[in-house]
Structure 1
Amino acid sequence: MKSKITLKELAKLLNVSVSTVSKALHDSPEISPKTAERVKELATLHNYRPNPVAVNLKKSKTETIGVVIPNISNSFFARVLSGMEAEAQKHGQQVITYISNESIEREKQICDMLTSGFVDGVLIAVSEETQKKQEYDHLFALLDYDIPVVIYDRINLGLPADKVGVDDEKSFYDATRYFKAKGLEKIGLASAIHHVGIGKLRIKGYEKALNNEYSALMATSTKPSELKRKIKELIAGKKVEALLCTDFESAIMATRVAYEEKIKIPEDLKLIGYISKDIAEFLTPSLSYIEQHPQELGSTAVEVLNNRLDGKYESGKFEEKIISTTLMHLESTRF
C-alpha cells in the first residue's frame, strides 16, 4: 500500500527542507516545537507514513550492514573496512560495501538502494561533494525509513545520527603544541581538504594552538598545481620551520617540493602528515604521522550500530564516539 504523501511532498507543502521534516517527525531537539507541530499536523492530515514495504522488511533482521566508503584508493578506508568486517563477523553479520567515489549523485543512488529494507543499518562516510554542497536530503531519507545510520570518520555534520570519528581538532592542536614546545615559531599548515569538515577541524586545532602568538602560515587549495605553488612559497621561501599536512595529498606534495627545492627533512624542515603507516614508513626520509587507528574506528562504528539495533540507546538521542589519535614520530620530526 502506497503512502498518500511522500516526505518530499510534505517538505514542499511546508516550504521547508526534507531534513527539517524528517527531524521534526523524529522529535529532534534541533527543531522548534512550533515547527514540529506544523509538520506533524500536516503529516497526520495527509496520512503520511514511511514506505510500508521497508517497514515490513525491518520487522525481521537481515543480519546485513550497508557500508558506504567515499574513496577506496585511500588505504585508510580499506583499514576502516577491515575493522568493520571483523566486528560484524562477531555479531554474525554480513557487510555489503558501496563506493561513492566522493560523488553526491552516486551517494544518492546508493542511499536510494539502501531504503529497500535489505540492510539492518547503514555506516557511511559522507562524500566530499555532499559536504561541499551541504545537500543531505538523501541521508534523511534513510532515517525516514527507520534505518539506523552511523556516520563515521567525517562526522562534523548536523545530522541526527550516531557518529564515530577521531579527535581531528585535538590531533593538530597537540602536533602544533609539540613543535612550539621544541622552540619552533614558524609553523605552517598545508591542506587539500580545508573545505570539508575534517579539514576544518584540523585547521581549527592548529589555529587554536597558535593562540594568536604567531601568524598562521597556510597553503590551501583543492587544485594540485596551486597547492604545490603555495607549499613552495612556504618552504622554499623559508617562511616555515615546520609544516603540518592535513591529508595524504598535501603531505606527499610537501615531500616532493622539499626534494625538488633541495630542502632537507628534518634538518631544514620538520614535517607531520595525516597519512597511513603503510606509506609513511617507506618514504625517504620516513614521515612522522598521526595514527587514526582506522581498524578501531571501523569496529567501534559497527558496535555503535548494533547497540542502536538492540535498543541500548534512547530514541531521539544520539551517541558520538571519538577515537584518540597518536602522533607517531619517525625521521621527519627528528631534532
Structure 2
Amino acid sequence: MKSKITLKELAKLLNVSVSTVSKALHDSPEISPKTAERVKELAKLHNYRPNPVAVNLKRSKTGTIGVVIPNISNSFFARVLSGIEAQAQEKNQQVITYISNESIERERQICDMLTSGLVDGVLIAVSEETQKKQEYDHLFSLVDYDIPLVLYDRINIDIPADKVGVDDEKSFFDATNYFISRGVKNIGLASAIHHVGIGKLRIKGYEKALAGENEQHLACSTVPEELRKKIKSLLTKDKVQALLCTDFESTILATRIAYEENIQVPSQLKLIGYIGREVAEFLTPSLSYIEQHPVEVGSKAMEILNNRLEGNYKPGQFKESIIATSLVHLESTKF
C-alpha cells in the first residue's frame, strides 16, 4: 500500500507552496491546468486524502458555527461578534466562540478541535503570532477537511478561503492625503502592528500618499517601551504636525505622550487613531478615528459563510469582500 502524505509534504515534493497544492486539489481557477494535473497525479500516487473521520462527520449538519477571536481586549472583535451573532440567529444557528490570545499554539489547538466535526463552518481572525511566523498548516487542515472557512479582518494571507476585511491601505492613504490637502507637510505614523498584514497595508497607504514628496516619519515597535521612545522622538525632535496611529496601543501611547510633553492637540498636533468610537469620543480632546464598521464585517462574514454552506458559490472560487472605512473627525483634527 502506498503511504499517506500531508499537504506540506506534497508541496515540498512539488517545490510549490502549500496554498498552491490546496487550491489545486480544490479546483481553484487560480491554478493552471498543468500545475493542477501535477498536484493531483502526485496526490493520487501517494494515496493522499483528507481525514476520513472528519469528512464523514461533515456530511451531517450541526447547526453550529465556530468563531475564533484573536483577543478580547480589543472592542473591535466584540462588535464583529455581535454582527456574526445577529446573522446566526436569523438562521437559527449556534455560535461557539474561541479566543486564541494571539497565540499560534492556541490557534492550532482550536483548529484541531474544529476539524473533529463540531461545526459546519469557521470564521477566524488569524493571530498575530501566526502571521509573524507565517505558519498556516493548521488553517490548511480546515480547508483540507472540507470545512468552509472565512477569514475576517486579517485577510492578507494566501489561503484558499473566503475573506472579509476593510480597506486598510486606502484608509491611511486617504487620511494622509487629508492632512496634505490642508498644507500639513510633517506627517508621522506610529505602529505596534507593523509586522502583520493589516499594519503593513496601513503603512503602505501612508507611504503611497507621501509618494516621495514629503519625508516619512515612522515609529514602529512591538515593545511598548521602545514604541514610547520612538513616538516621543517624533513629537519632540521631529516635531511632526500630524500623527497617524495604526492600532489601539500606538494611539493611546501617542495621546499620553502628547499630554506628558505638554503638546497641545489639535493646535500643535493633529491625531488620527485606529480605535473605536466608544474610546475616541471620551478622550480629551476627543480623538478623530477610522471607523472600520466591525458589525458590518461580522455580518458580511457570516453571510458569505452561509452562502458557502448553502452551495451558492462554485467550488474553488472564493469570495473576497472589502468593507469601506470612514474617517470620523472629532476634536483632534480641527484646523
TM-score, normalised via structure 1 length: 0.95
User: Aligned pair in 2 of structure 1 residues 91, 6: CA closer, same or farther (>3 Å)?
Assistant: farther
Match in the other structure for 1:7: 6
Match in the other structure for 2:37: 37
How far did 1:55 drift?
Answer: 1.5
Listed as ranges, the gaps of 5+ residues in structure 1 are none
Q: Is the 8 A contact 2:210 2:216 kept in 1?
A: yes
Determine if the alignment matches structure 1 residue 88 to structure 2 residue 81.
Answer: no
User: Aligned pair in 2 of structure 1 residues 174, 60: CA closer, same or farther (>3 Å)?
Assistant: same
Query: How far apart, CA to CA, are the structure 1 residues paired with 2:255 and 2:46?
Result: 60
Determine if the alignment matches structure 1 residue 296 to structure 2 residue 301.
Answer: no
How far did 1:56 drift?
Answer: 1.7
Match in the other structure for 2:281: 281
Query: How far apart, CA to CA, are the structure 2 residues paired with 1:15 and 1:133?
Result: 22
Letter in 2 for 1:278: E
Query: How far apart, CA to CA, are the structure 2 residues paired with 1:183 and 1:13?
Result: 53
Alignment of 1:118-197 (within 5 A): 118-197=118-197
How far did 1:38 drift?
Answer: 3.1
Give % identity: 75
Determine if the alignment matches structure 1 residue 99 to structure 2 residue 90.
Answer: no
Letter in 2 for 1:63: G
Letter in 2 for 1:165: G
Q: How many residues align?
A: 333
How far did 1:238 drift?
Answer: 4.7
Match in the other structure for 1:48: 48
Deviations 1:149-175 (A, max 9, x none): 000000111111100001111111111
Match in the other structure for 1:27: 27
Match in the other structure for 2:75: 75
Letter in 2 for 1:180: I
Query: How far apart, CA to CA, are the structure 1 residues paired with 2:127 and 2:322?
Result: 20
Letter in 1 for 2:140: F
How far did 1:266 drift?
Answer: 0.5
Query: How far apart, CA to CA, are the structure 1 residues paired with 2:238 and 2:39?
Result: 58
Query: How far apart, CA to CA, are the structure 2 residues paired with 1:278 and 1:175?
Result: 20
Other structure's SS at 2:140 match: helix
Other structure's SS at 2:156 match: coil
Give the stretch that moved more between structures: 24-33 or 110-119.
24-33
Listed as ranges, the gaps of 5+ residues in structure 2 are none
How far did 1:22 drift?
Answer: 2.2
Other structure's SS at 1:115 match: helix
Q: Is the 8 A contact 1:7 1:18 kept in 2?
A: no
